[in-house]
Chains A and B, each alone.
Chain A
Amino acid sequence: MSVATDAIAVQSTQVVAPQGDLNVHNAAQLYEQLDVLAGRGDVSAVVVDFSQVRAMDSSAVAVVALAKGLFESAGKRFDVRSLSAEHRQTFALMPMRSVATGKVEASEHPLEWAGQQVLASWAGMQRFLDLLTDTIFVVLGMFRRRMPPKGAITEQAVAIGVNALGIVALLTFLLGLIMAFQAAHQLRQFGANIFVANLVGISMVREFGPMMTAIIVAGRTGSAIAAELGTMQVQEEIDALRAMGLDPNRYLLLPRLVAITLMQPALTLMANAVGIFGGFLIGTMYLDLSAPAYINQTIEALSMGDVLNGLTKSVVFAWIIGLVGCYCGFNIEGGASGVGRATTRAVVTSIFLIIVADSIFTTASTVLKMG
């Protein structure tokens, strides 16, 4: 059912005569042929002859409409002829294109695009600041006994904290193992095996415990918050809350924020302990350190300040994850398909902000110590 055509030269007028059925399977061939003719300098007019066309469908009409645009914008004549009654009916169903040119819409100037991006991110920033001020108000509201609904905090705490215990423990345990292994190779050369305890202890408590936990929670909980709130937004559940006179921030954001603020430091403490335990296993089994020696060395290496430093960071990370998750969920764009995008955005943004915040912390505390 191919489009066999004769292109007969009548001075500079070309006649194109497709044969057989003209439909979605072969309309592209006709379009290509017409496209080539439209571009040829020696052709000033084209006629499409339908006398040998049996059945045609809307793709054929579309090709004719497009070709008409092409030829007109090239300043050439374009005609069709010998349409049967059935062909006419198909043409009658299809509205004419309002713009006669082949192009759909003038494409945007790059500067225009850049300007819109800047405006969009500015608007996004404003919305985020709005959310931040609202958050401060609902948190302050708690002191005026405007509590989140009963049971909501516990429910969230279980989802955010308890259910994450396993994965956080496993990953930070492995992290402790890896760190100890890496350190062991180096320290052994100097006979400084025992300092594995210092290295694992301090890096775990100050950096990797808080950071690793935050990254896992961002992946698990940040995405879940964005997906859940995004779905609620799409299904008008958040509007439904408002219509009932309930504040979505108090009802949805507050329990999540409170729960994550409580759970994140707890998870981090556990991560620290498990990571140190990983190091301990390597130290005692692979480096032949005695258990009491390793434990003593760890206790001596760590100060309360290190632990508090790590925990403070974990609270900041918790707020980043919670707020970014809520923001992405509340400000979802594009209906159901937007939920997936919001989820990804929540994870990527919060991990990015966590690492930025962490480097600010580390730089600041190093500078403070030196000064």
Chain B
Amino acid sequence: MVISLENVVAGYGKTPILRDLNLELERGQITALLGGSGSGKSTLLKTMTGLLPPLEGTVRLLGHEMYRLDQAERSALLRRTGMLFQYGALFGSRTVFDNIALPLREHTALPESVIAEMVRMKLALVGLEGLEARLPSEISGGQRKRVALARASILDPEVIFCDEPSAGLDPIVAAGLDDTLRRFQSLFGMSLVVVTHELESIKFLADRVIMLAGNAVVAVGTVEELSKSAIKNVYDFFHRVPPDYVTAGSSMLEWVEKQGEPKADG
């Protein structure tokens, strides 16, 4: 088991965002986290990665109750994981090279020459060789995401968490990124937890899908199972039903029409 959540309430301060989380993610699988914007996907991811203590319940990462560990133990555990943030979260004052090399320099005693080679290899894997000396502000958004993925994977972690890896990228680059993630999983046996909105990505990547809506998990299953689901949120997502915010409440027109013209004319 890579991650397990037991009766977890996730949220910020005293504000719960997600309730009743009971999840178990298996090793070597790619799990997609689905849900509308604001449904708590990033919140769940942060709770899983040790960045956001749950308000209630227990979170186990690689068999350890992460939030019970002391700082040194937690740090050791987190070295076995990688996180790709929604906006990359590269260190703006450091070059691409230094960003990717940071975990190696901090957590290992490898000589610089080995570090340089490892960075070069990981950059090649995400298709960005030759950008080592650039600052994050000097590369495009898509390139930043890929550099962030190289950084997240530099210690060959057992699990990588990805927050919307392909959001805002053009379809070709997005497909390339999905492909890289797939390869991480098949070549290195990594487990991946991927937040994504892209139906294409989900079909290509996900072994298992967890769907969030209305402060809770509404469905868990394979892509095939979920695409046959009759649960409203799930059905709407897989069949691209647009939400109708106006008819969900009532429109001004209803009131206008209720007034009955003849009477007003009198």
Contacts and interface: CB of A to CB of B under 8 A. Distances in A.
A246 B75 contact: yes
A98 B78 CA distance: 47
Interface stretch (A110-118, A234-242, A290-298): A234-242
A95 B246 contact: yes
Contacts of A94: 246, 251-252
Contacts of B109: none
Contacts, number: 101
Contacts of B75: 245-247
Nearest to B248: A95
A137 to B, nearest CB: 9
B242 interface: no
Given A95-B251, A96-B252, A235-B89, A244 B261 contact: no
Nearest to B163: A236
A93 B78 contact: no
Interface stretch (A61-69, A188-196, A268-276, A343-351): A61-69
B106 A149 contact: yes
A243 B71 CA distance: 12
A7 interface: no
Interface in A163-216: none
A314 interface: no
Contacts of A82: 261, 265
B75 to A, nearest CB: 4
Nearest to A231: B92
A79 B246 contact: no
A81 interface: yes
A47 B261 CA distance: 11
Contact of B252 (A65, A98, A237): A65
Interface in A278-325: none
Contact of A96 (B46, B77, B107, B251): B251
Interface residues of B, number: 42
B230 interface: no
A88 B259 CA distance: 13
Contacts of A239: 46, 51, 85, 89
A94 B246 CA distance: 7
B230 to A, nearest CB: 28
Interface string A74-116: 0000011111000010011111101000000000000000000
A65 B107 CA distance: 61
A247 B77 CA distance: 13
Q: Interface SS of chain B: helix, strand, loop or mixed?
A: helix
A353 B102 CA distance: 36
B61 to A, nearest CB: 12
A65 B257 CA distance: 14
Given A79-B259, A242-B51, A64 B78 contact: no
A237 B89 contact: yes
Contacts of B83: 240, 243-244
Contacts of B227: none
Contacts of A81: 259, 261, 264-265
A149 B51 CA distance: 22
A81 B265 CA distance: 7
A96 B255 CA distance: 8
A247 B82 CA distance: 16
Given A81-B259, A93-B251, A235-B92, A243 B79 contact: no
Nearest to A242: B51
A330 to B, nearest CB: 14
B254 interface: yes
B253 to A, nearest CB: 4
Contact of B85 (A65, A68, A231, A240): A240
Interface string A239-275: 1101111110000000000000000000000000000
Nearest to B71: A247
Interface string B36-49: 00000000001001
Contacts of A88: 253, 256-257
B19 interface: no
B87 interface: yes
Contacts of A83: 256
A240 B77 CA distance: 15
A231 B87 CA distance: 13
Interface string B218-252: 00000000000000000000000000011001111
Contacts of B90: 237, 240
A246 B106 contact: yes
Contacts of B106: 149, 244, 246
B50 A242 contact: yes
Nearest to A234: B87
B109 to A, nearest CB: 13
Nearest to B155: A244
B71 to A, nearest CB: 7
B78 A236 contact: no
A236 B85 contact: yes
30 contacts: A47-B264, A79-B259, A80-B256, A81-B259, A81-B261, A88-B253, A91-B251, A91-B253, A92-B253, A94-B246, A95-B245, A95-B249, A95-B250, A95-B251, A96-B250, A235-B87, A236-B89, A237-B91, A237-B92, A239-B46, A240-B83, A242-B50, A243-B51, A243-B85, A244-B79, A245-B76, A245-B79, A245-B107, A246-B106, A247-B75
Given A88-B257, A149-B105, 15 more contacts: A80-B259, A81-B261, A88-B256, A91-B256, A94-B251, A95-B249, A95-B251, A96-B250, A96-B255, A236-B85, A237-B92, A243-B81, A244-B103, A244-B107, A247-B75
Interface of B: 46, 49-51, 71, 74-79, 81-83, 85-87, 89-92, 102-103, 105-107, 245-246, 249-257, 259, 261, 263-265
Ranked nearest first, the 6 interchain pairs of A and B with the lowest CB-CB distance are A245-B75, A245-B78, A81-B264, A243-B83, A92-B253, A236-B89
